[in-house]
Amino acid sequence: MSRLDRCYNIADMREVARRRLPKGVFEYLDRGAEDEIALADNRAAFKRMKLRTRFLVDLSERDMGTELLGKRAELPLAIAPTGIAGLTWYQGELELAKAAAAKGVPFTLATGSITSMEKIAEVAGGRLWFQLYMWKEEELSYEMVGRARDAGFEALVVTIDGGLGNNREYNLRNGFTVPFTITARGLTDMSLHPRWLIGVMFRYLATTGMPRHENYPEKYAQRITRGPGERPMRHTAMTWKDIDRMREFWPGKLIIKGILREEDAVAAVEHGADAVVVSNHGGRALDSAAPTIDILPEVVAAVGDRTTVILDSGIRRGSDIVKALALGADAVLTGRATLYGTAVAGQAGAEKALSILATEFEKTMGYVGCRTIDEVSPDIFAKPPVA
């Protein structure tokens, strides 16, 4: 029995990924900011919501799919942007994108990925979204967005909560920063994980060389081990005027990610957003950020009848998806769950992670008496969720 066969849920995949990956790589994808309060609260908020069952409903015909931004998705789910995928598995972004295409859900390619958007579009296909951190050098941001447009990406996900960076002390302790710092501790950590070292890093070195940020403009598309002072600066002066300009430039769907208050959701719609993502960056930015599932109802009340509302941060079970839908979300993003799968077995692992979530989702839907996502309502809760 393979490692993948022994994974029965996302937690199992996380444990296999923890053992397979160097500590620095694993903790970069797995942990949160500072004291990891937001990371824990995201999960705790889902766990405190209890559901009521409904039986004697004909469940012989069920459809778990939905229309998401004008196209069919086989689940109300999209893969969140995760810049570390290419270091969990050789060409991990490509493996993850192929898994998403096979399962009929959108895949979001992160700005900082190490597989080019052109290769993703050519090889993986499927529904592709591109995530953007706006840079201080705005013309370079538009250069990347223009490439995504020309490659056929259908949506642009502008992340608005990353301008100030983050405070993740464990990355510094592990020597896992971007650009990467080569230390004796880090090299020892890698050598203690030979399957990863040979299957990922040595494979890059033997084929394309040390990985680069392939979607960065040439000025910054350097090896991930290049020294400090050669990174693009985030756009800390970004305002809604920048969203207006991007809306004029980008012809496809525009998604604003990082919403945690209703007035920002309203502003996003007024400035041309086709969707908003209620997100606290998976607990990786502001450590005292509110759980997104607690903020979701006010965002839905404010803009749910005018735009697509997507819930991000904390999805680990199919039941979490049902709870988000019941509170008015049209879909969810999942990042860590499918990254664990990618780290275990590439495309096959990511597909299994999606299959696990789909099975749990469909089973939970059946238990609460719903045959389609249109039937999901707050009535499924044992009592109204409270913060």
- Parse the chain into domains and list their residue ranges: 10-380
C-beta atoms surrounding 352 within 10 Å: 21
State how far the Cα of 225 lies from the Cα of 251, in Å rounded to an integer.
35
**What average pLDDT is seen over the chain?**
92
The greatest distance separating any two alpha carbons of the chain, rounded to the nearest whole angstrom, comes to 64
State how far the Cα of 115 lies from the Cα of 322, in Å rounded to an integer.
33
Place of tokens 């086709």: 274
- DSSP for residue 304: T
Which amino acid belongs to residue 179? P
Which amino acid belongs to residue 114? I
Which amino acid belongs to residue 330? D
Query: Percentages helix, strand, coil for the chain, rounded to the nearest 5?
Result: 45, 15, 40
Contacts of 245 (CB under 8 A, 6+ apart): none
State how far the Cα of 311 lies from the Cα of 331, in Å rounded to an integer.
6
Active-site residue set:
281
- DSSP for residue 271: T
C-alpha closest to that of 225 among 201, 203, 207: 201
Beta strand extents in 71-180 (DSSP E only):
71-73, 77-79, 107-109, 128-132, 155-159
Q: What is the pLDDT of residue 331?
A: 98
H or E stretch covering 85: helix 85-88
Which CATH superfamily includes the segment(s) 10-380?
Aldolase class I (3.20.20.70)
State how far the Cα of 240 lies from the Cα of 263, in Å rounded to an integer.
12
Question: Which tokens belong to 129?
Answer: 């979204």
Question: Which tokens belong to 184?
Answer: 């004796």
Beta strand extents in 212-269 (DSSP E only):
253-259
- Separation in Å, CA 162 to CA 234, 236, 266, 284: 8, 9, 20, 10
Give the DSSP letter string of 149-177: HHHT--EEEEE-S-TT----HHHHHHT--
C-beta atoms surrounding 79 within 10 Å: 30
Strand partners, 308: 275
Q: What is the pLDDT of residue 223?
A: 80
Burial 59-68 (b: 16+ CB within 10 A, else e): eeeeebebeb
Cis previous bond, 22, omega within 30: no
State how far the Cα of 297 lies from the Cα of 383, in Å rounded to an integer.
15
Contacts of 352 (CB under 8 A, 6+ apart): 4, 7, 13, 341, 344, 345
- Residues with pLDDT less than 50, the chain: none
Contact at 8 Å (CB) between 171 and 177? yes
State how far the Cα of 317 lies from the Cα of 73, in Å rounded to an integer.
18
Q: What is the pLDDT of residue 163?
A: 64
- Separation in Å, CA 278 to CA 201, 272, 320: 35, 17, 15
